[in-house]
Amino acid sequence: MRFGVGNGWRGLAAAVLLTGLAAGCGESGDGPDASGAKAKAKASAGAEVAARGESVGAAGSACELPVTFDIAEFWEAEAIDAASRQGETGNEIVDDLSDAFLHQGRVTMACEVDAKPAGKLGFLRVWTGRPGDADARAVLEGFVTAEEGADGAEYRSFRTGSLAGTEVEYTTTSELLEETKKERALAVSTPDGPVVVHLGGMDTEEHEAMLPAYELAKRTLRLTA
């Protein structure tokens, strides 16, 4: 598991020092349940897709990215400025852990979409890389390899609109918690560099409950105009 950023970023130092556990572990809010009938629709391929909320990626949106996509109803997006958060706490150990959390493989966290307002515990996170890293499969493999406890990765190609990319399903195991949970991510190449969209979750149950939001992002993913 990973530490939460978003609204919990200010508590990261305490989380690192006191627990070393992954974030998103907190009490669920009283917001609407995005897994309800109103928040889902059946896609033609059979996968559930969440009802649409706002769109992110374009100029003026919560997160300006090389790609645009729709986020699920009630979910809340926040841009992550990794550069400004380096050395933020002044505690060398905490800052090193924070920096490691914000970078994974060839990509850096750029946006975090929080599921708590929809009654879920988890995040849809977007990571971006430098122009020139054109091989989405290689970028995604590096992303998974860099995740502690990752295992059983299964890759496949996918296409959405004019974009072609690679998707992966895998598991991570926490030795501290003695728990294994599912993860899913996709990667596409853009003229501005690779983009990785990752869905975690507090545990496998929460991960699976949030899959409709991931499917919505995947099916609406487009290059930012």
* Digit-coded pLDDT (tens) for 147-205: 989 999 999 999 999 999 999 999 999 887 789 999 999 999 999 999 999 998 999 99
Instruction: Tell me how long the chain is.
Output: 225
Q: What is the pLDDT of residues 142-163, one digit of tens each?
A: 999 999 899 999 999 999 999 9
How would you classify residue 119: left for phi > 0, otherwise alpha for psi between -120 and 50, otherwise beta? left
Q: Whole-model pTM? A: 0.78
> Does a structural domain hold residue 47?
yes
| Distance, CA of 61 to chain centre | 17
Q: What is the pLDDT of residues 57-83, one digit of tens each?
A: 999 999 999 999 999 999 999 999 987
> Does a structural domain hold residue 202?
yes
- As for how many domains the chain has, the answer is 1
> Does a structural domain hold residue 1?
no
CATH of the domain at 142: 3.40.1000.10
Q: Which pair of structure tokens corresponds to residue 220?
A: 């609406």
Gyration radius of the chain over CA positions = 16
The DSSP output letter for 51 is: P
Tell me if 85 sits within 8 A of 171, measured CB to CB.
Answer: no
Q: Which pair of structure tokens corresponds to residue 118?
A: 């929809």
Write out the residue range of the structural domain in which residue 149 sits: 6-25+38-223
> Does a structural domain hold residue 33?
no
| Distance, CA of 55 to chain centre | 15
Instruction: Please tell me the predicted confidence (pLDDT) of residue 14.
Output: 32
> Does a structural domain hold residue 137?
yes
> Does a structural domain hold residue 30?
no
> Does a structural domain hold residue 32?
no
Distances (CA, A) of 104 to 119, 148, 180, 197, 208: 27, 10, 20, 12, 23
Tell me if 48 sits within 8 A of 42, measured CB to CB.
Answer: yes
> Does a structural domain hold residue 100?
yes
